[in-house]
Amino acid sequence: MRVVLTGGGTGGHIYPALAVANQCALEEPNSEFLYIGGQKGLESSIVPKADIAFKSIEITGFRRKLSFENVKTVMRFLKGVQQSKQMLREFKPDVVIGTGGYVCGPVVYAAAKLGIPSMIHEQNAVPGLTNRFLSKYVDTVAVSFDESMSLFPGSKHVIYTGNPRATTVVSANKNKGYESLGVSKDRPIVVLVGGSQGARAINEAMVQMATELNNLPDITFVYVTGNNYYEPTLKSIESKLGGLPGNLLILPYVHNMPEVLAATSLIVNRAGASFLAEITSLGLPSILIPSPNVTNNHQEKNARSLEKAGAAEVILEPDLTGQGLFEGIRRIMQDANLHTAMSAASRGLGKPDSAQLIVAEMKRLSSKQAKA
């Protein structure tokens, strides 16, 4: 199968696309891929490292206020459509899939106009502007949250697949997670992370609650600060306590997060869709602190979906304190029944076969086109 992938701007759009490519290659080893991304997005550096052919177009998003920049955006979109059509004619894909971000707009729209089977994947509980636009043109819309299916009323076909990152994470080796951290397998691990770049509010709460960690000596705490916050966080805690508690590990970044998550008992993190797919695939209970700085406040809506199911507790950033966060962790970790219930609820939301479901739909569309 010949597949064009598109999606970019953030890892939350890129890694699901790569998970689909991995699953497709696993099922059909002779598959060929072309990834069309933005010139300046993260995909321009991430995708080539995955050994997938990459081409780029210039595209930007709309400003929320009236601006001449929006006129330029329309012009870039139209130019991007023409560039995409040329790339698609040359590559001759069987199917095109977009996983979000502005770059999906011209690429997937071009595919639809050329009559190439196309689908989009929406990671968040609330669809973004680009996917709402594309949903009127594509053959299939795949969603990560069951309740999102009703939000694409004009679409030809909507399916609930979950997020393909779940498929990548569910097979992670937890022993490698313990080994990479250098911690004992005999003690439960609580991981606190504010995303790949870190989050000031979460790091401040980490510093505040460090004074309490000796009250839970049988638990290993792992603070993942983000590169920018690592030194300040480390120095603040050492200065405050005269050193680090024996049950605390502070890291700037974790490169093997799936393996670390597999070894984790409770996760404290933001509420990005891909990360939630990862933790629910493993049945991890969570305390979620959604970022307030995202479009349509979609992280809170993602988080509330897990909270409603009993899989997570939600703390909004204005309400976040070190003491409150620690008490939430203590309550979950010291109540075996609560932890078990949250874990079961989380696993119930997981879709470890997500990538397989998406690839199956891609094959269906490709086969339908071939017969036509």
| Judgement on whether residues 199 and 339 belong to the same structural domain of the protein | yes
| pTM above threshold 0.85 | no
Is 240:90 a contact under the CB 8 Å cutoff? no
Residue 175 assigned ligand-binding role:
no
Looking at the structure, tell me whether residues 6 and 147 fall in a common domain: yes
- Tell me the per-residue pLDDT of 20-38, one tens digit each, with 9 for 90 and over: 999 999 999 999 999 999 9
What's the whole-number mean pLDDT along residues 199-220? Answer: 95
Supply the range of the domain harboring residue 228: 171-349
CB atoms within 10 A of CB 97: 32
Residues 214 and 290 in one domain: yes
Answer whether residue 234 shows pLDDT above 70.
yes
> Are residue 183 and residue 317 in the same domain, yes or no?
yes
Does the pLDDT of residue 121 top 90, yes or no? yes
Strand order in the sheet with 53-57: 53-57, 32-38, 2-6, 95-98, 118-122, 140-143, 158-160
pLDDT of residue 370: 67
Binding site annotation covers 243?
no
* In a shared domain, residues 279 and 325: yes
**DSSP assignment letter at 161:** -
Beta-sheet strands, E only, within the chain: 2-6, 32-38, 53-57, 95-98, 118-122, 140-143, 158-160, 189-193, 220-224, 248-251, 266-269, 286-288, 312-314
Residue 215 confidence class, pLDDT cut points 50, 70, 90: very high
Helix (H) or strand (E) holding 106: helix 104-113
pLDDT at residue 296, as a whole number: 79
Task: Indicate whether 10 and 125 sit together in one domain.
Answer: yes
Containing 291, the helix (H) or strand (E) segment is none
Both 88 and 202 in one domain: the answer is: no
**Does 198 count as an annotated binding residue?**
no
Do 62 and 115 fall within a single domain? yes
Residues 224, 107: one domain? no
What mean pLDDT is reported for the chain?
92
Residue 196 annotated as part of some ligand binding site: yes
Query: Which whole number is the average pLDDT over 72-85?
Result: 88
pLDDT of 41 over the 90 cut? no
- How many folded domains does the chain comprise? 2
Q: Could you tell me if 322 and 335 lie in one domain?
A: yes
pLDDT above 80: residue 63: no
State yes or no: 9 annotated in a binding site. no
Please state the rounded mean pLDDT for residues 318-324: 96
Average pLDDT over residues 281-296: 92
Report the distance separating Cα 355 and Cα 15, nearest Å.
12
Mean pLDDT of the 67-96 span: 86
What CATH number should be reported for the domain holding residue 91?
Answer: 3.40.50.2000
Q: Are residues 210 and 230 both part of a single domain?
A: yes
Same domain as 210, residue 136:
no
Of the pLDDT bands very low, low, confident and very high (cuts 50, 70, 90), residue 141 is very high
Angle between helices 273-281 and 336-349 (to 10 degrees): 120
Q: Is 131 assigned to a binding site?
A: no
Phi and psi angles of residue 154, each rounded to the nearest 5 degrees, phi first: -95, 10
